Chains A and B, each alone.
Chain A
Amino acid sequence: MTAPVLPCLKHFTFFLPMPLFFVFRCFRATAFGLLLAAVFTTSAIAAPPDADEPTPLPMTAAQPLSATAEQIFTKARPRLLQIRTLLTAAQKQSSIGSGFLVDADGFALTNYHVVSQYALEPQTYQLDYLAPDGTRGRLRLHAIDIANDLAVVRLEPSDKGGVQAPRDHFTFNPVAVAGALPKGERLFAMGNPFDLGFTIVEGTYNGLVENSYQPRTHFTGALNPGMSGGPAVTADNRIAGVNVAKQFGGDLVSFLVPAVAAHALLEKARHSEAMSQAGVREAIREQLDAWQNGFFAALQEEGFRAASFGPYQAAESSAPWFNCWARTNSGSSTKLRVLINDASCDTRTALFLAGNMSSGQANMSHTYMKSIDLNVLQFATLVSQRMQPSPMFGPRRRYTPQQCYENFLAPDDAHPNRPVLRVTWCARAYRDFADLYDIAVTAVTQDSSKEALISRLSLTGVSYPNAITFTERFLNTLEVSR
């Protein structure tokens, strides 16, 4: 049977009352999970108990249940870190995550989302580590990889004069780096969930997530907030991936960053200097820009397929990494006054930039409406309600206010079958990252008073030329045939 996964807030208030900051920290640690949850909305699957299932183990032998896990954890323990973002002024933690040593000189890997507050606001936050033996110290940021949600940090030497003893550290599993682990391989994920102490979790490697633009390893095991950035190792105690997210509403459906990305970033960071705030912002900007260029080139390459809505044709991306859903109101009432069919496609993943800022999402949706007994004025009211562009939320210090342009767009010689459209284009710029924008386009067909197609496109973290090109492509595919 499936049981609902309690969100961390509820879970904790159940056991003991938590001060507010803990709730916040809790929320932060789950931010990435929340992001994913918004995209993956798979229904719970209740499977009947399998008749062929073997009967429970007889309770005879008093042997250790998992000697492997015990050995792995004992060996791995000194290489694990808890990574804490502290509010400098208050000296209190504002978020926690995990990390692990990967180099004798004190380089460690973690998730970008674990260090994002410090990376973007080093004046406000400081980045500390806490080792299982109780030693603490500062961390310096050496490299980030936004697309894969990775960061390389380095432990500050504890005393300046003495030569630092080489640190015990993990190595990468070459089979995992080559992406050749077989499905079903046993993996062990480690980290410090909810600040409860370092733990080890046994699970299964299930290959790469299908239909995801960004490669993610599907790990069947219990990852929890706070374990982000911790290692997932094979039985020989070598790195196979980095804990990154879990599926809300799922059971044991968790995700790892593939080892190959972590390995590549470490090699790049090994000889680098610590990053400055400006360096971080420039790196994010460059990576986002490169990412969106790659993403839109790939989208164009995958092409579009036509989708029909009454007399209208619109485009849907043929790219496999879009998750599409359809909905209709036809069964909702016996006295239906208007027929509404929705089809919506979005990319499964988003790139985490900050707790209140994510990027790299694309969404295309079409709403077809046909009046049954609404008059033209009532139908226009309904279209007005349905065509409102989705609001762009976010703090003003991260984004400029949105700017919109709206007008009627004529069919032209190249697209004579396109009806007159009422197009609303809204865009806003990222304050921290030049040349990146969020855009939202809404097009409403204007060829009939009792029938309409509302097509929407929204892109986040996109360059203006890509946004314009893609919008043009999107609008050019809208056609009507009567």
Chain B
Amino acid sequence: MVSFPSSAFDIAEAVRSGSVKAAAILEDHLGRIAEREADIHAFNLVTADAARVIAARVDDVVAAGHDPGPLAGVPIALKDNMCTRGVPTTCSSRILEGWKPPYDATVVSRLAELGAVFVGKTNLDEFAMGSSTENSAFGVTLNPRDTSRVAGGSSGGSAAAVAAAFAPVSLGSDTGGSIRQPAALCGVVGVKPTYGTVSRYGLVAFASSLDQIGPFSVDVRDSALILESISGHDPLDSTSIPQGPLDLLSVLDQDVKGMRIGRITDMPEGADPDVLGRLEAAFDALRAAGATIVDVELPTLKYGITAYYLIAPAEASSNLARYDGVRYGRRVDSVDTNSMYMATRAAGFGDEVKRRIMLGTYALSAGYYDAYYGKALKVRRLISDDFARAYGKADVLLTPTSPIPAFNVGEKADDPLAMYLCDVYTIPTNLAGHPAMSVPFGDSRDGLPIGVQVMASTLGERPMFKVAAALERHMVATGGRS
């Protein structure tokens, strides 16, 4: 049996050198999808035929003696909230069922130019609102490590696709932890970059001031490769930082000697003991590698949940107002336009989306703006200021990614507030606009993956990746046993 390279980095190298065909790599992955997708439901749509066309084109380019690019033949799965021209983009919502965007998201066209092969659109909580992918209109995504459990969310499909080796890498979007939390629950790497480093053009908006696209991968190097490929200024996104792509691969081999790793002394409580145990192991590993552990205080961190669940729904209530049955998507017909709106939106949106639209509309409405949305924006500033003080003392901060490992399907479905509290460690970085990533760092006693979150200040991706790579090296060296 032929053995193929498994990482995106190695696949691209092999395809560019001509030692392996992109078509063969693709068939290898499509084979695994055929085998296990029915049990996992990572995808809303597998675009096998289109992928075969692209893979063949990549092979032709190599055969002609040209270079298809640094992602030549790399299969990539896209979260189904990124626009792909002519390919359905649903956000796992009935209201967008059947919609085929007439344009590509910037990340999609960049990856295509670099030789990537898109294998499909992955499942998510409807409009990225949720932490378990149970809010998808098309069914839950199950955790490849234990299919009785959720894959996390909202980018559960993209996390599961990588964990199940349906694709070596995938893209997700992270508004309050939607990349990092499912990465932790599925045992893969997931990165939310600094707000403004990856273009949001063509990413269906949930909360515009919080959303960022980022990669999932099995190892840290692949996430660095993908983030280098998709980052950099985009004139189509006014909030895009005017700078070139991030330079990350070059820092992965650097050691962490002398780096200051922050431990948050007043971290919000309630994390599972196994999770806290793995966090301590991470501090130990970095200390052993020559880093210094420093204590920092972030007294306002605990207010992150409140600020987030007022700001994100407020922006969402406006962003989702365009789904009105006039120009695209689903319409429920009625006698006049207003009742058509009411019926269309009632039938098209699921419960969680409606709940957040209601919450956000309320927070912005006359008489309540100052008490809710206005206050939340001020709390956001306090949290950001707290971080600034902490990053005066530490280069990166370490926390759990999720307070708990993957939970059972249905376990939290009836308690929205309990679900929201799962985001307690991931939300603050979105509010501040900082980068953060989840690195797999061992398992719970039940054998469920646990992730450690490495956080850094604005544009602190290089120290963040350096530390993540060090944690990964430790896991490889110890076989995951300490």
| Pairing of A with B | no
Which B positions have Cβ atoms within 8 angstroms of A? none
Which A positions have Cβ atoms within 8 angstroms of B? none
